[in-house]
Amino acid sequence: MMDSMDDVVDDYELTIAVEWMVEYILEIRGSSPIRSVTIIDAKDIDQVRNELLRELTDLYPEAGRIDVTVIRMSTISSIDSESMFEEDGMFHP
């Protein structure tokens, strides 16, 4: 019985999701561009893209077309908090 459980564990690939910060500009036909930031839990960039698309289509279900320009995408741990402040001390995500 233990051998079969070991096989299951050996075949299982552990994937760990991390938090990604995604800064983007959203353009929906007939509206002004919206600059926004979101946090997404994902294991890689491909999953981040899929989750961002899912999030935006959930937020704007009536939009026929959504154009997104990603400005910055990085894991939360790699964001230096000092880089979010300009020289004059203003917060800039």
User: In this structure, are residues 52 and 32 in contact, taking their beta carbons and an 8 Å threshold?
Assistant: no
**Which sign does the torsion angle of CA 26, 64, 60, 41 carry?**
negative
The pLDDT of residue 11 is above 60? no
pLDDT bin (cut points 50, 70, 90) of residue 13 is low
Residues 37-87: pLDDT tens digits?
999 999 899 999 999 999 999 999 988 888 999 999 998 865 555 555 565
Kind of pairing, strands 18-28 and 66-75?
antiparallel
Q: What is the pTM of this model?
A: 0.64
